[in-house]
């Protein structure tokens, strides 16, 4: 099964959870809390997953309002059974 999505990695697990809470309160349904892949950040961490890069501006805007630091954004793809993670320039 092929897929493509983005994940936003935050400086802390709490900031990811709080940012998602704010997004949900504002009615945004395009975001999901996921465990950060070990290949990106070791330890118990969460990231916010979204399917389209156009949602990044919404995420950034709301994170900035609450002072949540975004570490990186990654494009996660699976094509022909091979998974890849690519850092997106932000």
What confidence tens digit (pLDDT) does each residue in 13-67 have?
999 999 999 999 999 999 999 999 888 876 778 999 999 999 999 999 999 999 9
Supply the range of the domain harboring residue 27.
Answer: 3-88
| C-alpha to C-alpha distances, 77 to 7, 29, 39, 67, 74, nearest whole angstrom | 11, 21, 14, 29, 10
Coil vs helix vs strand at 82:
strand
Place of tokens 């118990």: 44
Q: What is the pTM of this model?
A: 0.89
Q: How many domains does the chain have?
A: 1
**How many angstroms separate the CA atoms of 43 and 58, rounded?**
27
Stretch among 6-10, 39-43, 73-77 having the lowest mean pLDDT: 39-43
What CATH number has the domain bearing residue 25? Answer: 3.30.70
Best CA proximity match to 86, nearest among 6, 1, 12, 13: 6
């Amino acid at each position: 099964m092929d897929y493509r999505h983005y994940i936003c990695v935050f400086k802390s697990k709490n900031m990811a959870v709080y940012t998602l809470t704010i997004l949900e309160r504002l009615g945004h349904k395009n975001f999901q809390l996921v465990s950060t892949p070990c290949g990106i950040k070791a330890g118990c961490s969460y990231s916010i997953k979204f399917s389209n890069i156009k949602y990044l501006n919404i995420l950034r805007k709301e994170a900035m309002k609450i002072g949540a630091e975004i570490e990186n954004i990654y494009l996660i793809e699976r094509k022909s059974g091979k998974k890849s993670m690519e850092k997106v320039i932000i």
